[in-house]
Amino acid sequence: MQLLILQLTGLTLKKHNPEILLIPPLSFHQDIENNKSFIPVGLLALLGSLHSNGFDAQLYKTTGYLEKLHDYNTVAEDILTYQPKIIGFSTWCNTYPYVIKLCREIKNLNPDVPIILGGPQASVLDIKTIKRFPFIDFVLRGEADYSIVQLLTFLLKNNFQNRLEEISGLTFRDKNHKIVANSYNRIEKDLNKLPIPAYQEIPNLTGNRIDAGRGCPFSCTYCTTNQFFSKSYRVKSPERIIKEVDTCFIQSGSTSFGFAHDMITLNKKFMISLCKKLRAHYKSIGRKYTWSCSARTDCVSADLLKLMAKAGCEAIFFGIESGSERIRKIIKKDIDLDQAYEMVSAASINMMKPVVSYMTGFPGETKEDLEATLKSVIKMTVLGAKPQMTMLSILPGTPLFSQYFDQLEYDGNFSGFTSNYLSDVEIQLVKTHPDLFSSFYYLPNKDLSRNLLNFVVNLVNYIPDFMPTFRFIRKFILNDVSKIKLIDYLEAKMSDFINDPEMHTPEYFFLADSIKTYLKYLENKELPVYASDFFYIDCVKAFLRIKYLILHEDFPLHNKDIKSKTYDKNADGLKLYLFQEVVTTDYDISKISLNSENEELKTKLRKGKFKFLVIAKTHKRSVVYKITKKEAEILKNSQELHYSDYIYANKTKFQKSASWKRIKRLVDIGALIE
């Protein structure tokens, strides 16, 4: 079922007749409950600027699906019930088809309401967009903290086409219907002068993004970030960042944040100052914040990572992109891979959670390049990093787009920045305007098949499910990975899994089977006997998470309709067997945290029969609890009951027995039937 939905945003009550209604990017419907706190920090910054200048600006929120043509009319009508004087859309490459369709429908219903587009995608496609779609009135390119205030001042206080040509970065039609693109000449160098973003729009959830700075001075050929921010690297002062963090805490109660900046550690002197002032601030206020950030591996050091960890950094994102030095040179990702391994290891040792990102599908990528990338992914995993991979998206405005656009092809299989699943409504638009929606296309490779690359991408994204196993056998992997021809092995085996109609997630089963085969190979190489218990738990965690994804969210994996024929989400509760399982192990592996990706095994494990309850909490996360034999028995005969029946039948036991109370708490029964 191909459903997309406008991202649920904010807690603000619906008001009528705001001066501008801002529409966040679209998102997958299954992320709604898990990402309620997500609003692009740039949109919050614009909202802060508008509010500080006295404008009545509001964020739009909806749960309206955009699946069929009539859904656009429904959502457009809902937007117009706010009676906004102006409507503004934030655009990303993966949301652009939906924005264009929705704008058309809004204009059909109300031709007089001005529509403004902003964000990375519209910024690089401003002239083409306005030329082809007359229902789009304005595009504000780049950072619009000041330009949006100027445009609204003009639109709400003057007639059209008077002095629009003075607004930096504005693209519009003049009185003669000629398209005018003003120069982009106003970038705020001192970000401390900007108003604090409207963090009050974020619900009381963790993971709030803090506008720490902007701009990246590097020139990676696949990236649009440096163009959007004009390669101007800036950071807010440590004092201002701390003030914004405190503001978020006061408004939401959250103590966990993400510092929004692609390259926050570029200025090490600034970063050291920020960390020291954060630590001093914690002492003065009596609480500590945790945070995450993005960086390059050549813009950190072991000492800096240690300091960052002490200051509350618990996760850090590194873009590696390719394990091939040749490819990294071609795409101008000039990092040293050995240094990257050292920095990932240092982050892991300091109890951070490093995330490493890779891509495939680069121009001229060979089998040897892909082999190097897979081996790098595996090495990063055993060093403690969570790997992720996307297919290369050729984005408008990048050097790769200029060089390879005319070679792009469309097959409807999306991966990378555009992992959305288009319905027929959007597909026609994408096919008609390939230069506007190039991220939905791919670059053919004569040496590497599309099936192989897609399989590798999905395979890598299942590796995090098995990180505890990888970490446990790290010394064996580090010794063997250079000897194995991974791509040869993959090409020889993957068709058996892809062609099996019962395997809706063939990459998961391929990975699990491969690890099982490798563990069997290691049995005569001093592999501890309890390794199979770790692997068993990882398999169950991954499988339940996938089951949750498929059944609970109706998510269209691999463009296949795999919705369960027997699952009814409107039935009386959820059946117990769907997203949890009791596992019996031969060793007490609770001595190491089964929900940790970094912790090492440091003690000998006790042999016996031990019970663990594995539960998929969301489509992204499964957890493990050690339970007693009595608690396992409680669950044993209840696998076919609905939760409501289960509670009713055992109400007295839940009230009196400690074991029953714990089971009720662990499986979160009350929450699941609400």
Residue 572: per-residue pLDDT: 39
**Side-chain half-sphere exposure of 133, counting CA atoms within 13 A:** 30
Q: Over the stretch 320-359, which tens digit does the pLDDT of each residue have?
A: 999 999 999 999 999 999 999 999 999 999 999 999 999 9
pLDDT band at 271 (very low <50, low <70, confident <90, very high): very high
The stretch 651-673 carries a mean pLDDT of 56
Determine what percent of the chain is predicted with pLDDT higher than 70: 80
CA distances, 465 to each of 30, 297, 597 (Å):
19, 24, 10
pLDDT band at 412 (very low <50, low <70, confident <90, very high): confident
Residue 455: per-residue pLDDT: 94
Is 157 or 328 the better-scoring residue by pLDDT? 328
pLDDT band at 640 (very low <50, low <70, confident <90, very high): low
Residue 79: per-residue pLDDT: 92
The stretch 648-667 carries a mean pLDDT of 61
CA angle (476 as vertex; 472, 480 as ends), nearest 5? 140
Q: What is the mean pLDDT of the chain?
A: 83
pLDDT band at 536 (very low <50, low <70, confident <90, very high): very high
Alpha-carbon gap, residue 458 to 467, rounded angstroms: 16
Q: Given a cut of 80, is residue 634 above it in pLDDT?
A: no
pLDDT band at 649 (very low <50, low <70, confident <90, very high): low
- Name every residue whose Cβ is closer than 8 Å to that of residue 485 and which is 6 or more positions away in sequence: 371
Residue 589: per-residue pLDDT: 83
Residue 492: per-residue pLDDT: 93
pLDDT band at 421 (very low <50, low <70, confident <90, very high): low
Among 480, 563, 552, 555, residue whose Cα is nearest residue 515: 480
Residue 11: per-residue pLDDT: 39
Residue 362: per-residue pLDDT: 96
Q: Given a cut of 80, is residue 282 above it in pLDDT?
A: yes
- Name every residue whose Cβ is closer than 8 Å to that of residue 171 and which is 6 or more positions away in sequence: 126, 127, 130, 138, 139, 140, 141, 179, 180, 181, 182
Q: Given a cut of 90, is residue 670 above it in pLDDT?
A: no
Among 112, 367, 322, residue whose Cα is nearest residue 221: 322
- Report helix, strand or coil for 601: coil
Q: Over the stretch 116-148, which tens digit does the pLDDT of each residue have?
A: 999 999 999 999 999 999 999 999 999 999 999
Tokens for 196, please give them.
Answer: 């604090």
Residue 69: per-residue pLDDT: 75
- Name every residue whose Cβ is closer than 8 Å to that of residue 70 and which is 6 or more positions away in sequence: none
Q: Are strands 256-260 and 290-295 parallel, antiparallel or unpaired?
A: parallel
Q: Are strands 57-59 and 20-23 parallel, antiparallel or unpaired?
A: parallel
Among 182, 36, 28, residue whose Cα is nearest residue 98: 28
Residues in a beta bridge with 27: 5
Is 644 or 312 the better-scoring residue by pLDDT? 312
**Side-chain half-sphere exposure of 403, counting CA atoms within 13 A:** 11
Q: Given a cut of 70, is residue 486 above it in pLDDT?
A: yes
Residue 552: per-residue pLDDT: 54
Which domains are assigned to the chain? 4-181 (3.40.50.2300), 203-479 (3.80.30.20), 531-673 (no CATH)
Residue 64: per-residue pLDDT: 62
The stretch 236-255 carries a mean pLDDT of 92
Radius of gyration of the chain, Cα coordinates, nearest whole angstrom: 26
Point out the least confidently predicted range of 381-395, 409-423, 594-608, 627-641: 594-608
The total number of residues shown for the chain amounts to: 674
Residue 664: per-residue pLDDT: 61
Point out the least confidently predicted range of 55-59, 100-104, 336-340, 663-667: 663-667
- Report helix, strand or coil for 525: coil
pTM of the predicted structure, to 2 decimals: 0.86
Q: Over the stretch 22-67, which tens digit does the pLDDT of each residue have?
A: 998 764 443 444 444 467 888 999 999 999 999 999 998 766 667 6
Is 593 or 485 the better-scoring residue by pLDDT? 485
Alpha-carbon gap, residue 602 to 500, rounded angstroms: 41
